[in-house]
Amino acid sequence: MSIRSKKDLEIVLSKLKSFETPSFLLEQYPTPSSIAAEWVWNMALAGEVAGKTFLDAACGPGILGLGLLLLGAKHVVFVDKDSAVLRICQENYAHLAAEYELGTAEFIGSDIQLVDVRADIVVQNPPFGTKEEHSDKRFLEKAFAVANVVYSMHKYSTRTFVEAIAKDFHFTITHVWRYEFPIKAAFSFHQKPVRMIDVGLWRMERK
């Protein structure tokens, strides 16, 4: 089988297993399949997927990295400090590999700061840094050390921070996409079934 359209990709990604017991502290909110599909499909159209190696940081169930593998990525390193969700990511990979020809995958259960890998491109939807201060900063610092191209999603309200840290690490922001990110009620204190968050996806490239 093969993926023939962005809609095909979205449908396949929508069927993956997601978080079973999401962590409040780790801000484990699943990336919607519609956003993930558009994200990686645009990368493929730009010639940034086929034959490339990736780091999917804070991978969760793996929707971004698996989308890249479905579109021809050579190798994806999935990293998440939550061992339970990393197992779900492995299950998702095994499920897709039974139906599709995928590149190779590596699964690392670790704090992102302790990971020592190299990649062509980093993709990440890290914690927004609202529950654990500066967690978003640590992910960006590692991403800038790992690859020359970084795709990273953050709250759009933090755009001045993203612009500043990119400049500090000699990265140029080449594209910004903006999305309404739905966060479904997963914890007892959530008062609305779905809350929309204004997020941005930044593409950054080393100067």
Confidence of residue 165 (pLDDT cuts 50, 70, 90): very high
Which residue range(s) make up the domain with 137? 6-206
Is 51 contained in some domain?
A: yes
Which CATH number does the domain housing residue 101 bear? 3.40.50.150
Tell me the pLDDT of the chain averaged across its residues: 91
72 CB-near residues (< 8 Å, 6+ apart): 44, 49, 50, 51, 103
Is 1 contained in some domain?
A: no
Is 172 contained in some domain?
A: yes
**Domains contained in the chain, number:** 1
The predicted-structure confidence for 81-121, as pLDDT tens digits, reads as follows 999 999 999 999 999 999 999 999 999 999 999 999 999 99
Mean pLDDT of 50-67: 97
**CA–CA separation, 198 vs 181, rounded Å?**
6
Is 104 contained in some domain?
A: yes
The pTM assigned to this predicted structure is 0.92
